Amino acid sequence: MSSTTPFTAHSTLTPYGWDEDWADAFAPYAAEGLLPGRVVRVDRGQCDVVTSDGTLRADTAFVTPQDPLRVVCTGDWVAVEPDGTPRYVRTYLPRRTAFVRSTSSKRSEGQILAANVDHAIVAVSLAAELDLARIERFLALAWESGAQPLVVLTKADLVPDPVTLAHLVQDVETAAPGVTVLSVSAEHGEGLDVLAAVVSGGTAVLLGQSGAGKSTLANALLGEDVMDVQAIRDVDGKGRHTTTTRNLLAMPGGGVLIDTPGLRGVGLWDAGTGVGQVFAEIEELGRDCRFHDCAHESEPGCAVLAAIDSGELPERRLESYRKLMRENQRIVAKTDARLRAEIRKEWKRRGAIGKAAMEAKRGRVR
């Protein structure tokens, strides 16, 4: 056996995020003669894994649990067989972070998009009108994943007036407390140096709708035309899917980038904490409400409603908060019987209050 540690023995993986903590987690598998590697692409039950022996094609048949959140995904660190035809991934190491959304199926399963991500870049095109509610939705999932969100307003060259651009950035900052908002033009190279500096040295996942300019942005960060780029429709700023799989690639300035397909549907998946972080000011105001379980609808002594009346809180923010909280509650309730019972109890309570108020009103009319 070599006297080198698992970390130094696989230092060629350092550009992909390999460090001493990953080496310690991998130690039991190293003793079995397995190779560490990072998954750079997954498709049809197989994956490409970058290892100290090069990039290998491996089968994931040994890691096929019933839980769709536990399948091998791009960004995972795995233990792979050193030889064999085919090679197999034996397991993946515990994830530090995981970006998960709900599927569009009626079963409401979770779908993992990327693992072990440090920065979640939400790409938003300035070629179309800003959809702040959609940005808030992406940010909720990003916060819930454990990664640090970052909003990048692409195609800034389409907004030549600096005052208008500054107002757009400010609008997004209002909807994204605690999140850095950058405007960039991959076409002209503006703002890319700042973005590259922010995400260097870690793993960044690139998220956004089709037509958000993700592939162009990815090419700019990678320093080469790795991703195909398609023209968007002039009518609504939307585009077709350019990226069809999630790919992990090393950036020349350090760090790695995971590009994802354009996401038409972005359903929440047990993202209550993430929603709370997106709407941190509402959560903070809620602590001053008279009732600890205040729904911020019509309760007396509601600090949130008072903030809306005073103009301190935009009504749009509260409406978006309510919508995402209701959606998340529905998703969680489908897999949590106790929560379903609590929701039914709360519905009955509110129904009784409404009925009592209606009867009191009728009594006054008589």
126 vs 101, 123, 133, 183, 316, CA distance in Å?
25, 10, 15, 9, 21
Label residue 289 left, alpha or beta by phi (over 0 means left) and psi (-120 to 50 means alpha).
beta
* CA pseudo-torsion sign 334, 339, 341, 347: negative
Residues 256-266 pLDDT 10s: 999 876 555 56
Tokens of 222: 């990678």
d(CA 248, CA 17): 11
Tokens of 3: 């006297």
User: Which pLDDT score, from 0 to 100, does residue 187 have?
Assistant: 84
Cβ–Cβ under 8 Å, residues 163 and 195:
no
d(CA 154, CA 182): 9
Q: Which amino acid is at 118?
A: D
Regions in the chain scoring below 70 on pLDDT: 1-10, 65-66, 103-109, 224-245, 261-271, 333-366
Cβ–Cβ under 8 Å, residues 90 and 34:
yes
d(CA 145, CA 162): 34
Residue 199 has a CB neighbour count (10 Å cut-off) of: 24
Nearest to 98 by CA among 212, 258, 236: 258
Cβ–Cβ under 8 Å, residues 112 and 69:
yes
